[in-house]
Chain A
Amino acid sequence: MTATKLPFAASSDVGDLIACPTCDALLHERPVAVGETARCPRCHTVIEAPRALAMTRIIMLALSALILMVAAIFFPFLELEAAGMIRRSSLLDTVMAYSGGLTEPLTIVMAALIVVLPTTRFLGLLYVLAPMAFGWHPARHAAPVFRFVELLRPWAMAEVFVVGVAVALVKVGGLAHISLGPAFWAFVALVIVTVLKDNFMSRVTVWKTLDARRRS
């Protein structure tokens, strides 16, 4: 991307221009090669970063994330053993921890942040990117779905939850013996997969691909 020089005639054709989504710098658009990273010359935000087979990789990762999420919900998450008593806790128990009393609304928030929103993101990404990976036309309403997926990005907090688990383990460590269940490892894998997936994804590239493949 090269900056637009100041004597700029506001001509009628704006097709070969791109504005940095973060700082609004007006740039001349040029094709970005696969593997290359195009940054804004002013604020250095990554504008485009096309990667080989990125679409396919993202949908594979989103699919694995979905499967891992199912495992994380239904298998025991943590197991606590103290004074001869064993207490198993699943992800659903954790979500339900705030139910009852004044903290009741937090139940919904917990469910949303660690299960519903991440799952919605994976499903939305699959819906938008699967047709792209196969070289088809975009699915119906792909644009609003992808906008929604990007809107949810800061609110899907699976990775924050994993760090929370680690802190909780140390807190109870002295009190009782704790072992990690299979669901915990599923959830850790889910976080790794999510981070990989988000690294592969370049928002502007997805929008351009959707636009180029649009049915006309």
Chain B
Amino acid sequence: MENTGRPPQILTAHRAGLIGCTQCGKVHHPGTARCGRCGAALARFNTASLQRVWAWLIAGLVVYVPANLYPMLRTTQLGREYDNTILGGVLELMHHGDIGVALIVFLASIVIPVSKFVAISYLALSIPHRVRLPSHRRHLLYEVVEFIGRWSMIDVFVVAILSSLVQLDFAATIRPGIAAASFALSVAFTMLAALSFDPRLIWDEAD
């Protein structure tokens, strides 16, 4: 495409006094409630949708705290019981020398969730406030956040697989800990926060 920087004045459906469907792109006159092509609900975007983003994000942040404090895995090995938190599991993998896997778990369970909280807050704050990052960069950030969110579920799946597999009576038994539930909730809430964010707001700058 020829315009990589700030594209010269592109008219939006919103500016033209029309409503574009976010599902199929069909353009409608204002006052239409549902899209004539796909039947999706039509809405002119407004900053009120940011409230939903903040609500889900804060909910996700709240449940992320117990997810890190409580055990994710309870291992019973030869009669002794160990509790493993998320960070503990990463450290243990590192001690075993599995740096690669430790890195995957560390990325999925700690780096991705934390950067998602930061990125979504930044995007939501960038709508009412002026920020230095241009629209197309913020759009890229939004797409990355939306794409990467679901991969945080890895640890919840790992715990399930381990607990179903390692049931060797006295030798070793693994059971899931309560943190798995709050971690799954946290991932779901942040995914909902990202989905509630309307990317059209990024491009609707008063300039």
Contacts and interface: CB of A to CB of B under 8 A. Distances in A.
A201 B80 CA distance: 52
Contacts of B177: 103
A73 to B, nearest CB: 14
Nearest to A18: B25
A39 B139 CA distance: 15
B16 A8 contact: yes
B7 interface: yes
A180 B16 CA distance: 58
State the main secondary structure of chain B at its contact with A: mixed
Contact of B25 (A6, A20, A102, A113): A20
Interface stretch (A53-61, A129-137, A155-163): A155-163
B181 interface: yes
Nearest to A85: B168
A92 to B, nearest CB: 9
Contact of A211 (B11, B37, B154, B158): B37
Interface string A157-171: 100110111011011
A175 B166 contact: yes
Contacts of B18: 10, 14, 17, 19, 26
A103 B10 contact: no
Interface in B42-94: 45, 93
Interface stretch (A41-49, A64-72, A119-127, A191-199): A41-49
A167 B165 CA distance: 13
Nearest to A19: B20
Interface of A: 3-6, 8, 10, 14, 17-26, 39, 41-44, 47, 78, 80, 82-83, 85, 87, 89, 93-98, 102-103, 105-106, 109-110, 113-114, 143-144, 146-147, 150, 154-155, 157, 160-161, 163-165, 167-168, 170-172, 174-176, 178, 203-204, 207-208, 210-211
Given A26-B15, A42-B7, 18 more contacts: A14-B18, A19-B27, A20-B20, A23-B139, A24-B204, A78-B161, A82-B168, A85-B169, A87-B168, A97-B164, A102-B181, A106-B160, A110-B160, A163-B151, A167-B101, A167-B158, A174-B96, A176-B168
